[in-house]
Amino acid sequence: MNNYNITKANKDDLPAILNVQKKAFLEVVKKFHLKSLPALEQSLESLTIDFTKGIILKVSIGNTIVGSVRAHKNNETCHIERLVVLPEYQNQGIGKALMHEIETRHTNGVSRFELFTGSRDSRNLQFYNHLGYKPFNTEILNEEVTFIFMEKSVKEHKIINSGCTTSR
């Protein structure tokens, strides 16, 4: 396991985060033989807007950003978006650590977490289910992609993560 650090991203990190995002989602497009996904088409300008709406966390190994996740609060819901890890660093606990950190930073003032993932990605569905997320809605993006929306209560987060520590 590589030693990594999870910190809040700054504006200078956004080009590298966008690069990680595109590499990660390109793998999804290839795996499911899709034409594209909105995450692949996001511009730096759009990511900068996301940066001003909420928080973006990054995972660094040395000086290299290898993953990120973002979240913003809307009423009593924390919306978690674009959890990405470079393909060569996946399956090392980085995504789980990012989720734990983003949830921990948003337990005050919210009652639930919400995210979405592709309906065909059983690996992501299993990952989020393991973290306590349950499906509550679906949305058809186009003929290729359907999103499954998942939620978890803040109370559930505290139960699952009580006494849990993350190695970095």
- Helix, strand, coil % (nearest 5) of the chain? 40, 30, 30
Closest Cα to residue 134, out of 142, 143, 125?
125
162's CB contacts (< 8 A; 6+ apart) are none
Q: For 114-144, what is each residue's pLDDT tens digit?
A: 999 999 899 999 999 999 999 999 999 888 8
DSSP element (H, E) containing 39: helix 38-41
Average pLDDT over residues 38-53: 93
Place of tokens 């505290």: 158
User: What pTM value is reported for the model?
Assistant: 0.88
Distance in angstroms (rounded) separating the CA atoms of residues 51 and 94: 21
